[in-house]
Chains A and B, each alone.
Chain A
Amino acid sequence: MLSRVAETLYWMSRYVERTENVARLINVNNMLIMDLPKGVSSGWAPLIDIIGVREEYQKNHKDFSEQSALRYLLAGDNNHSSILNSISSARENARTIRDVLPKCIWEGINSLYYYVKDNKNEGLTKRGRFNYLKHIIESAQMIFGALDGTINHDDGYVFIRFGSIIERADMTSRILDVRSATLITSEEAKPYDNIQWMSLLRSLSAYQMYRQQMSVRIQRKDVIEFIMHSEVFPRSILFCLYELKDLIEPLVNSPQVIELIDEASDDLKHSDVRVLRNGELHDYIDQLQIKLAGIHNALAESYFLK
């Protein structure tokens, strides 16, 4: 496998994963806002924070109104994590390695790109939004499903999966960070807290699985525990770290990457995240994100084209 191709597969897959995650994030927030009275809702600003583009956003926008925030999240030009820019980056990467991708994958990414681009006004209307985002999420899942079922599970597959999982872990940490910060100022339950924690779980497609595994009513410490520590839920951070290790282990030259993954997962496993207060939680997640970035750097150092 060419180093350049490994790198491109990795990014292609990260961007498809990001497309899906951002679409789900918007969809869930959209639902949440309908449930909450005006004073309680934190509106659309948290989404801008989750994808980490507040500074860019504020250069051109004076408020976080639904229309401007949505326009920015769906197709903002200077937002490299907008849905349109994410799928477009996925497509550009896929385009340079079309030769190694099964045709259905390229066609899937390509047609999703056109769908996102040609129907973006649907996403701005209240009526069309749900279906628009649902279609995006489903298409992204179909791309990964098709990948799983049609491409050789060889070295290239490792980089595809690795990109997707590391993006997933990163997104989970961001959602938890931002949502918990705006949500909980104290340990005491306030009205509507429940709905908001549910919504956090839903942005990670985690609500049902939380119910099944934790089988307790929704409360802060259990949600954090589940999102960070679950060893069975595929979007929990610990689960993702374990998966990264399983993926990279069979590759040659992987010890350096494995060492960093082990470090991160050991630390996470042995930290009692339930007791972290807001400021502490934020700091902890910050450290975790630095570790994820470190894993990416080690991967690039070992395998990508220099």
Chain B
Amino acid sequence: MGIDWKAYQTNGFFDELIDGQGGVRPHGRQLAQFFAGLSGDELKQARAVADLAIKEMGISFTVYDEGNTIDRAWPVDIIPRIIGKNEWQTVETGLKQRVEALNLFINDLYHEQKIIKDGVFPKDLLAKSVNFRPQCVGVNPPNNIWAHICGSDLVRDGDGTMYVLEDNLRVPSGVSYMLENRSVMKRVFPELFEQVPVLPVNDYPSQLFDMLSAMSPRPQDIPEVVVLTPGVFNSAYFEHCYLAQEMGCELVEGRDLVVEKDDCVYMKTITGLRRVDVIYRRIDDLFLDPEAFNPDSKLGVPGLMRAWAKGNVALVNAPGAGVADDKVVYAYVPEIIKYYLGEEAKIANVPTYKCLDKKERDYVIKNIDKLVVKPANESGGYGLLIGPKSTKKQQQETIAQIKADPRNWVAQPTLNLSTVPTLAESDPAGRHVDLRPFILSSGKDIQVTTGGLTRVAMVKGSLVVNSSQGGGSKDTWIVDEEAE
């Protein structure tokens, strides 16, 4: 007996496959039918094929546990997540708009700071930013692009609306898992791909390579592009390898590179030194160059910032790009889009109340039991107040803190994240998901992945999608509704 969708419970959440009345949403019909037609044994077998494929292909991620690093198999759920092409095109346009504005914003912050002079973005916030790098002021990266690769996290609320939850502009990871999830699904359900008009995802590595090449400071046919990794112990090492391999360029560690007296970057090869043009770096800003940042860093390359500032090498993403992914900057993205592009944001932020504004502050204080209240510059959940789960006393304390330093606080409504059917046990059950698409900007064009990486919280009711804490993933299918 296959999956009985009539028995599937949505539990009051917005489910992306089954609507509130127990009916299958139109773009998911073939998928639901296919799974209903599989016997219990076939389902079991499909899971075994997926597990074996993941093990054999060596798709893994690293977790740290008491000083040991463990290479774990990547968890993939075999029921794909489906999104209609029409909806996706809207999202895609919105993401392009967002990233275009963010790049203009970053470039402005490191040059004239017009947005501050025009009173749209408060000067104090910049002063408090932990990701603003004074070392980057006045530097002109190619095409004025700072965040070449952006991974934005999207979620759906209870009515199905898609929101941006955050933008990752430093070293966003996950794209390799998006690509490998598709390879796994092709091995598991080859016949399903004949029935459902799903759009391909495998063009990403060539788009990435083209974008990287376009950043080369030397005009020549084949620029030397490398991927810089902290090494095999990094949690995203699998991805660093994967991307270098798919692009056919060298994967280097800091010790493979050297900056010579001419302020150019070279790699150490068996035939001597060879000049490097573009570095897709997967090392955080502060570890890039012990001369400019953390002097104890052994991961970086002494002199790298000097070479970059002189325009002798391109760094992707540019150092300092993270200034635009602070929580508090996030709250200003709609204004940032309006300021630089003169447009309304096409894809919404999760509504965020800035306590700096008196009207919004009063609203937060009045509704504090319904909101999630966050301090702007703390990370890791420190100081966070979840209204519905807090006591009166905690609420009063937070209100006092807000009044004392309003500019340091923002608040958001609690979201009812959407669910997708997931084979957590033997029967499918709804599990909460998010989505991370990747956006590439070269200054000439902007490209968005077809879908992205869907992460799923495998534990019932949980909102934690992080793979190191029991989260899983799904292949994300953008389906062409008209191509049936």
Chain A residues in contact with chain B, CB under 8 A?
1-6, 92, 95-101, 103, 106-107, 110-111, 114, 155, 251-253, 303, 305
11 chain-A/chain-B pairs, Cβ below 8 angstroms: A1-B270, A4-B253, A95-B58, A95-B241, A98-B238, A98-B241, A99-B227, A99-B244, A99-B250, A107-B56, A303-B270
Which of chain B's residues has its CB closest to A251's CB? B270
Which partner residue on chain B sits nearest A108 by CB separation? B56
Contact of A99 among B71, B231, B245 (CB under 8 A): B245
Asked if A2 and B267 sit within 8 Å, CB to CB, the answer is yes
Q: A99-B241, A99-B244, A99-B251 are in contact. Are A2 and B269 (CB under 8 A)?
A: yes
A5–B241 Cα distance when bound, in Å, is 13
CB 8 Å contact bits of B253-285 with A (1 = contact, 0 = none):
101100000000001111100000000000000
CA distance A253 to B272 in the complex (A): 10
B215-259 CB mask vs A (1 if < 8 Å, else 0) is 000000000000100011000001011101100001111011000
Would B268 and A305 count as touching, CB distance under 8 A? yes
* Contact yes or no, A305 B271, CB < 8 A: no
Whether the pair B252, A106 counts as a contact (CB closer than 8 A) is: no
Select from chain A the residue with minimum beta-carbon distance to B71.
A95
**Contact B256–A4 (Cβ < 8 Å):** yes
B-chain residues with CB within 8 Å of residue A95 when the two chains form the complex:
58, 71, 232, 241
Which residues of B lie under 8 Å from residue A155 when comparing CB positions? 270
Residues of B close to A99: CB separation below 8 A: 227, 240-242, 244-245, 250-251
Q: Knowing that A98-B58, A99-B227, A107-B57 are A-B contacts, what are 16 other residue pairs whose CB atoms are under 8 Å apart, sorted by A's residue number?
A: A2-B270, A3-B269, A4-B253, A4-B255, A95-B58, A95-B232, A96-B231, A97-B241, A98-B241, A98-B242, A99-B244, A99-B250, A100-B245, A106-B58, A110-B58, A305-B268
Q: Which single member of A96, A114, A303 contacts B232 (CB below 8 Å)?
A: A96
**Which residues does chain B contribute within 8 Å of A92, judged by CB atoms?**
232
Distance in angstroms between the alpha carbons of A3 and B240 in the assembled complex? 19
The answer for the CA separation of A4 and B256 in the assembled complex, in Å, is 7
Contacts of B269 in A (CB 8 A): 1-3
Are A114 and B55 in contact (CB-based, < 8 A)? yes
Bound CA–CA A99/B176 (angstroms) = 13
Pick from A1, A107, A303: contact of B58, CB below 8 A: A107
A163 to chain B, nearest CB (A): 14
Q: Chain A residues near B57 (CB, 8 Å)?
A: 103, 107
Q: Is the CB of B232 within 8 A of A252?
A: no
The 5 closest A-B pairs by CB, nearest first: A99-B244, A99-B245, A98-B241, A99-B251, A110-B58
A148 → B minimal CB distance (Å): 19
B contact set with A: CB distance below 8 Å: 55-58, 71, 227, 231-232, 238, 240-242, 244-245, 250-253, 255-256, 267-271
- In the complex, what residues of A have CB within 8 A of residue B255's CB? 4, 305
**Residues of B close to A96: CB separation below 8 A:** 231-232
Interface centre among B71, B242, B269 (most CB of A within 10 A): B269
Distance of A78 Cα from B270 Cα, bound (Å): 34
* Complex contacts, B252 vs chain A, CB 8 Å: 2
Across-interface contacts of A251 in B (CB, < 8 A): 270
How many angstroms from the CA of A234 to the CA of B255 in the assembled complex?
A: 37
Choose one: B71, B238, B245, B271; the contact of A252 (CB below 8 Å). B271
Residues of B within 8 A of A3 (CB): 256, 268-270
> Is B55 a contact of A305 with CB atoms below 8 Å?
no
Residue of A nearest to B267 (CB): A2
Of A5, A98, A110, A252, chain B has the most CB atoms within 10 Å of the CB of A98
Query: Once bound together, how far apart are the Cα atoms of A2 and B252, in whole Å?
Result: 8
Q: Which of B71, B231, B268 contacts A2 (CB 8 A)?
A: B268
Determine the distance from Cα of A107 to Cα of B56 in the docked complex, in whole angstroms: 6
Q: Given A4-B253, A97-B251, A100-B245, A111–B268 Cβ distance below 8 Å?
A: no
Q: How far is the CA of A98 from the CA of B243 in the complex (A)?
A: 10
Residues of A within 8 A of B268 (CB): 2-4, 305
- Cα–Cα distance between A111 and B245 once the two chains are bound (Å): 19
- Given A96-B232, A253-B271, A305-B256, also A110-B56 (CB < 8 A): yes
Q: Which of A2, A107, A110, A303 makes the CB contact (< 8 A) with B256?
A: A2
CB distance from B257 to the nearest CB of A (A): 10
Chain A residue contacts of B55, Cβ below 8 A: 110-111, 114
Which residue of A has the minimal Cβ distance to B249? Answer: A99
> Which A residues are in CB contact (< 8 Å) with B253?
4
Judge whether B56 and A98 touch: CB under 8 Å: no
CA distance A111 to B53 in the complex (A): 10
Query: Which residues of chain B are near A100, meaning CB under 8 Å?
Result: 245, 251
Q: Which residues of A contact B227 (CB under 8 A)?
A: 99
Q: Report B392 CB to chain A, min CB distance, Å.
A: 53
In the docked arrangement, what's the CA distance between A99 and B231, Å? Answer: 13
A92 to B, closest residue via Cβ: B232
Contact partners of B58 in chain A: CB under 8 A: 95, 98, 106-107, 110
- Complex CA–CA separation, A180 to B57 (angstroms): 43
